[in-house]
Amino acid sequence: MKTVITISPDYQHISSFINTISQNFQSQGTTIYKARNEIKNFDIDNQTFTVKKYKRPHIINQIAYGTFRQSKAQRAYSYAFLLLNKGINTPVPVAYIEQYHGFLMTNSYFISLFSPESHILRELSDYTVEGNENFLKALAAYTASIHEQEIYPVDYSPGNVLFENTNGTFRFTLLDINRMKFGFVTKEMAVRCFRRFFMDQSLIEFIAAEYARLRGFDPAVFVKSALKHHSHFWKES
Q: What is the DSSP string of 112-131?
A: EEPP---EEGGGGGG--STT
pLDDT tier at 199, thresholds 50, 70, 90: confident
Mode of pairing for the β-strands spanning 47-53 and 38-44: antiparallel
* pLDDT value at residue 64: 76
Mode of pairing for the β-strands spanning 93-101 and 47-53: unpaired
Q: How far is CA 200 from the centre of its chain?
A: 22
Average pLDDT score, the chain: 93
Q: What is the pTM of this model?
A: 0.92
Q: Where are the domains of the chain?
A: 2-113, 119-236
- pLDDT tens-digit map of 45-96: 999 999 999 998 888 877 777 777 889 999 999 999 999 999 999 999 999 9
Measured CA to CA, the distance from residue 15 to residue 8 in angstroms comes to 10
Measured CA to CA, the distance from residue 13 to residue 196 in angstroms comes to 39
- Cross-strand pairs, 172: 163
What is the phi/psi pair of residue 132, to 5°? -120, 20
- Domain formed by 2-113, architecture: 2-Layer Sandwich (3.30)
- Could you give the angle at which helices 133-148 and 201-215 cross, rounded to 10 degrees? 50
Mean pLDDT along residues 183-208: 94
Q: Which of 22-26, 35-39, 124-128 has the lowest mean pLDDT?
A: 124-128
CATH 1.10.10 fits 119-236, yes or no: no
In what order do the strands lie in the sheet containing 30-34? 2-7, 93-101, 104-113, 47-53, 38-44, 30-34
Q: Which is more confidently placed, 168 or 138?
A: 138
Measured CA to CA, the distance from residue 72 to residue 140 in angstroms comes to 27
- pLDDT tens-digit map of 86-141: 999 999 999 999 999 888 889 999 999 999 888 999 988 888 999 999 999 999 99
